[in-house]
Chains A and B, each alone.
Chain A
Amino acid sequence: MLRKLLIGTMLGSALTAGYAASTYAAGGSVEVLHWWTSGGEAAALDVLKKKLESQGVTWKDMPVAGGGGEAAMTALRARVTAGDPPTAVQALGFDITDWAKQGVVGDLGEVADKEGWDKVVPAALQNFAKHDGKWIAAPVNVHSTNWVWISKKALDAAGGKAPENWDELIAVLDKMKANGITPLAHGGQAWQDATIFDAVVLSLGTDFYKASMIDNDPAALGGEKMVEAFDRMAKLKGYVDKDFSGRDWNLASAMVIEGKAGMQMMGDWAKGEFLKAGQKPGSDFVCIRFPGTQGAVTFNSDMFMMFKVGDDKKAAQLTMASDIESPEFQSSFNVVKGSVPARTDVPDTAFDDCGKKGIKDLAEANSSGKLFGSMAHGYAVPAAVKNAMYDVITRHFNGELDSKAAAAALAEAVAAAKG
């Protein structure tokens, strides 16, 4: 038995070593363009860097932060136009597809086939990480965006029961308002408005979400149900404080942490703020799915898109892709980042309660076909359409349009952006 195990291990490591020796150990370097530049996420990425260095691959760091990746995408255009693309680029959703269509991306098939990514990465992610059946990007994580982060204290004061549907949510928000705090902490930036909108649409039914946000069916975009979605947005607007406009999302989290506000509707990166402030899931704050969306997940996955590189860099690129998909890295990175692993076979032992719930929800949504790309984060529609939606959502949220006009404008803007 032991002997068998030993041989197995030896064989395995010999294989790995052989592989490393033949194609990877040439050393080489990877140049990585990304926008993870702040404390936690950069430190998490450093784990990957160290791992690569231990394999003899040099990490050349090219961080360009700003605009949720917009500055990095601007720099990337210059790099590709100059004929000098980086090895790997952090990218999201349809941006990956758009780049793939330009014919400039690499092929990870060699390592993906060998490691069986097809079997462990959720299909919804593969739609983006693969193009024409070829692996072109290595997914790092899965963020889900239909979360609500509630202050435990505020919730207890409002009855103590986490809301499970729209009416209960409104009841809790009303109680919180009566208790004299800001019920909903929110930052009035287009992407934050859209993040809530994602969840609101999803709460009106997964079919409706798919028809409107992903398939862009004009009838769904401009229909009665969309008017209702905008009405819900207007209702929620009634619970934010008057200074919400322009606020950074983390300052909104701080309001919940300090007890000035009751809850925040935000993706799971918000958890990092709570943890950093010394709060414990369950006892200090509660994480729930947006009421009425339990069982479904809108996701946003950070991926490293790989570009075509010369043969001298190919080995290093494949090593990097392999390391990203390794279960150890998936676990250690995502524990820090607040997200969940991009493969479904990673044990959840290292994660806190919210992380465990996230992993479970993801697996469940994946198997029931209720795992959808997040519109707000570029996984439902291409950038042009996404931003056209942003415009309408944020104008409505700021009172420039009423719900009926907003639904009509949404259908119109999407049609125009699709050109």
Chain B
Amino acid sequence: MSAPSQDVATRNGVFVRALIYALLIVFAVYYLLPLYVMVVNSLKPLDEIRQGNMLALPQQWTIAPWLSAWSTAQIGVSPTGLKPYFLNSVLMVVPAVAISTVLGALNGYVLTKWRFKGDNIVFGMMLLACFIPFQIVLIPSARILGLLGLAGSVPGLILIHAIYGLGFTTLFFRNYYEAFPTELVRAAQIDGASFFQIFRRILLPSSGPIIVVTVIWQFTNIWNDFLFGSSFSSVDSIPITVALNNLVNSSTGVKEYNVHFAGAILAALPTLIVYIVSGRYFVRGLMAGAVKG
């Protein structure tokens, strides 16, 4: 993990380094600006927002919008805030991420270490699945969920999310395992290790980085999904994004922007934390294979 360009860097002049720092900071401001707008306005009373200056710090600080978004804001007919919907999302996201990751790992393993005639075509077809616009699968998916008796249930949502995540998870693991020495697998095979033993004992232990990438990717996408969540959930399983959308997208009601912003940050906390905590592993995981195409 030694920085390859270290020596290149040391030959840069002080001026160049200052310029680089300046640019990095300018971009940091660009990336932080919307978050700043959201945070600052979530701490103001509504009147102050109406008056205008959205970039100004609050004249009167308040955490009431946060409390409201969390536990008392109107989501549907009941003033529950976002609180009850967190668990729904977790119950949906965790199994969906787990299933699609495990299947993706196994698929990647088969596609690289147990190659067969036409494996590239199979992989190519699975990869294309990443690019299908979800709007067009909505109606036929609903039909199939209905036939399976999974309509409006958590297992139904998990199934759909797992299926439409398979393309990406397979891509990630396939590219990662592509670089993994096949000789080790062959050697283990000769020693009589079975298909699953080889996977568990040889590939899995070194799959840490790519598992991180896959989990982050899947977690973020499924957590933030609105279309499937709103169409395939039932009364007891409404995910957080749908609740957030209900909070902010009222049609003919008064819009409490401060509560909206607070709610948005609350709903995004799990993904934000995942990114911040595992950001380092994310880059490492990408480096270890996902970007090799």
Direct A–B touching in the complex (beta carbon < 8 Å)? yes
A2 in contact (CB, < 8 A): no
The count of residues in chain A whose C-beta lies closer than 8 Å to any C-beta of chain B is 44
Instruction: Tell me which of A18-26, A70-78, A283-291, A397-405 binds B.
Output: A70-78
* Contact with B139, one of A31, A46, A77, A84 (Cβ below 8 angstroms): A77
Bound Cα distance from A81 to B74, whole angstroms:
29
Question: Which of B75, B142, B253, B254 is A82 in contact with, Cβ under 8 Å?
Answer: B142
A83 near B: Cβ within 8 Å? yes
- Whether B77 contacts A61 by the Cβ 8 Å rule is yes
Indicate whether B234 reaches chain A with its CB closer than 8 angstroms: yes
Q: Compute how far the CA of A60 lies from the CA of B234 in the bound complex, rounded to whole angstroms.
A: 9
A60 and B235 form a contact (CB under 8 A): yes
- Which chain A residue lies CB-closest to B50? A254
* Residues in chain A near residue B251, CB distance under 8 A: 35-36, 38, 65, 68-69
Q: Mark B60-95, 1 if CB is under 8 A from A, else 0.
A: 000000000000001111110000000000000000
A316 to chain B, nearest CB (A): 14
A41 to B77, CA, bound (A): 9
- Binding-face segment, A103-111, A218-226, A268-276: A268-276
Q: CB < 8 Å: which of A31, A59, A71, A83 contacts B146? A: A83
Contact with A along B188-226 (1 / 0, CB 8 A): 000000000000000000000000000000000000001
- Kindly state whether residue A37 has any CB partner on chain B within 8 Å: yes
- Mask of A41-81 contacts with B, CB within 8 angstroms, 1/0: 11101100100000000011111111111010011011101
Q: Which residue of chain A lies nearest to B231 when distances are taken between CB atoms in the complex? A: A78
Q: Tell me if B182 counts as interface (CB < 8 A to partner A).
A: no
- Within 8 Å CB of A84, what residues of B? 146, 151-152
Judged by a CB distance under 8 angstroms, whether B267 is at the interface is no
B236-274 CB contacts (< 8 Å) to partner A = 238, 242, 245-256
B245 touches A65 (CB 8 A): yes
Cβ contact of B77, chosen from A42, A74, A75, A254, cutoff 8 A: A42
Most B CB contacts (10 A, CB to CB) among A31, A35, A36, A82 go to A82
Q: Taking the complex as formed, is B143 at the interface, i.e. its CB lies under 8 A from any CB of chain A? A: yes
- Name the CB-closest residue of B to A34: B76
Q: Is the CB of A61 within 8 A of B76?
A: yes
Cross-chain contact A38 with B142 (CB below 8 angstroms): no
- Asked if B164 is an interface residue, CB under 8 A from chain A, the answer is no
At the interface, yes or no: B171 with Cβ under 8 Å from chain A?
no
Give the Cβ gap from B51 to chain A, nearest Cβ, in Å.
8
- A154 CB to closest chain B CB (Å) equals 18
Interface flag for B138 (CB, 8 Å): yes
B138 near A63 (CB under 8 angstroms)?
no
Q: Which residues of A contact B75 (CB under 8 A)?
A: 37, 42, 63
- Residues on B with C-beta less than 8 A from A207 are none
State whether A40 and B254 are in contact (beta carbons under 8 Å apart), knowing that A71-B245, A254-B50 are contacts in the complex: yes
Check: A248 CB closer than 8 A to any chain B CB: yes
Shortest B274–chain A CB gap in Å is: 26
Q: A71 to B109: give the CA distance in the assembly, Å.
A: 40
User: A212-271: which residues lie under 8 A (CB-CB) from chain B?
Assistant: 248, 250, 254, 258, 267, 269
**Docked-complex contact B235 and A66, CB < 8 angstroms:** no
Q: Counting chain B CB atoms within 10 Å of each CB, which of A42, A49, A68, A267 scores highest?
A: A42
Q: Does A419 belong to the interface (CB within 8 Å)?
A: no
In the complex, the chain B residue whose C-beta lies closest to that of A59 is: B77
How far is A62 from B233 in the complex, measured between Cα atoms in Å?
Answer: 9
A: residues with CB less than 8 A from B are 31, 34-43, 45-46, 49, 59-69, 71, 74-75, 77-79, 81-84, 248, 250, 254, 258, 267, 269, 272-273, 276
6 contacts between A and B (CB under 8 A): A37-B247, A61-B235, A64-B230, A74-B227, A82-B143, A82-B146
Q: Give 3 nearest A-B pairs by CB, closest first.
A: A38-B250, A38-B253, A82-B146
